[in-house]
Structure 1
Amino acid sequence: MSVIVWIVEGTWAACVEAARVHTPADTEVVLLHISAPQAPGLAHGAYAGLLGRARPDRDPGTQVEGLARAAGEQLLARAAARLGGPCVRRERAGRAEREVVAAAEGADLLILARDGDHSRLGPHSLGPASRFVVDHAPCPVLLVWPQSAPSTSTIPPPPPHPPHDR
């Protein structure tokens, strides 16, 4: 059995806990973190556009790339420590929603957390990237709350019944 756990700052702990609780001990757990390429690209472009290419060693995009990579590695290390068992750490770069869907191909389960409005139950509890992943995942999905789920009293009332035709 292979389980992909999407590791995102702010929600990773709930996902790792779900993997610990809901997967058998012999499961291959893959901790997946996605780095967005936009920030390094913007820094590279700004440097080239404003200051030219005379000193590539001073390009801040390279430093931003290094910081993003280190932050991702650190987050994966914290997740692996919390998991407390064998796992594979995988770092990918690109559009998060597409990278997660691609990584989930062939997996038996994908675990991710709600990342939208946590104050009530409903579709707004998913952000755009998570909604895309839930809608396009090529495997079963376990969707967890990063903290306690809101009460069922947060569900809006049903719409009124249409009038009866006579």
Structure 2
Amino acid sequence: MAVVVWIAEGTWPACVEAARVHAAQGAEIVLLHVTGTEVPGVAHGAFAGLLGRGHPKGQHQSGGWGSDPGTRLEDLAADSSRQLLQAAAELLGRPCVQVARTGRIEREVVAATEGADLLVLARDGDRTHLGPHSLGPAGRFVVDHAACPVLLVWPGAAPAGPPPPAPPRHR
């Protein structure tokens, strides 16, 4: 049995705790963190757009005005990913596999569920109300497209109050 645990900033402790409770003792647990490419991509594009493409050789010096800020952002994101995965592994307190991916977050999470027996993820939307808006776009995509059963957890206490009214029936 393989259990994939989506490690995302702000919600990962609840996912790790759910894996501790619900994963069988002998299950392989995969801690998955995905770094998006949007921010470094914008920085790469801004750098190319502001400075043009034709730089004399040697002008791209590391750390200077000629260095691409997108590369620095990618390095910072990779460090952050490693730290989050390590913290999650420590909280889990049992053997696990740590996987760091880069790409479209929701698509990488769905791809990681192929062959898995369970995916654990936390709500990533509006956490102040019960209902469908408690899932953000990435979480909704993953829930709709995961190739395995999904365990969806609240990243804290579920909000109090009745659920929203049911949508009207179509005729």
Q: Settle same-fold status: TM greater than 0.5.
A: yes
Count of aligned pairs: 160
2:163 is aligned with 1:155: yes
Aligned to 2:127: 118
Match of 1:56 among 60, 79, 83: 60
Matches of 2:133 and 2:51, distance apart in 1: 43
Aligned to 2:7: 7
Aligned to 2:18: 18
Question: Is the Cα contact below 8 Å between 1:6 and 1:111 reproduced in 2?
Answer: yes
* Post-superposition offset of 1:52: 3.2
2:24 is aligned with 1:38: no
* Post-superposition offset of 1:158: 5.5
Matches of 1:20 and 1:159, distance apart in 2: 35
| Structure 1 runs of 4+ with >6 Å offset | none
* Post-superposition offset of 1:120: 1.9
Question: Is the Cα contact below 8 Å between 1:120 and 1:154 reproduced in 2?
Answer: no
Match of 2:84 among 75, 85, 95: 75
Counterpart of 1:126, as a letter, is: L
Aligned to 1:146: 155
> Structure 2: which 5+ runs fail to align?
62-66
* Post-superposition offset of 1:156: 2.9
Matches of 1:91 and 1:156, distance apart in 2: 36
**1:60-96: CA deviations, max 9, x gaps?**
1111110011011111111111011111110111111
* Post-superposition offset of 1:30: 0.5
1:159/1:123 CA distance change after superposition, 3 Å: closer
> Structure 1: which 5+ runs fail to align?
161-166
Q: Percent identity?
A: 65
Residue range with higher mean Cα deviation, 28-37 or 57-66: 57-66
1:158/1:142 CA distance change after superposition, 3 Å: closer
Counterpart of 1:102, as a letter, is: A
* Secondary structure of 2:157's aligned partner: coil
Q: CA RMSD in A?
A: 1.7
Matches of 2:46 and 2:167, distance apart in 1: 51
1:21/1:51 CA distance change after superposition, 3 Å: same
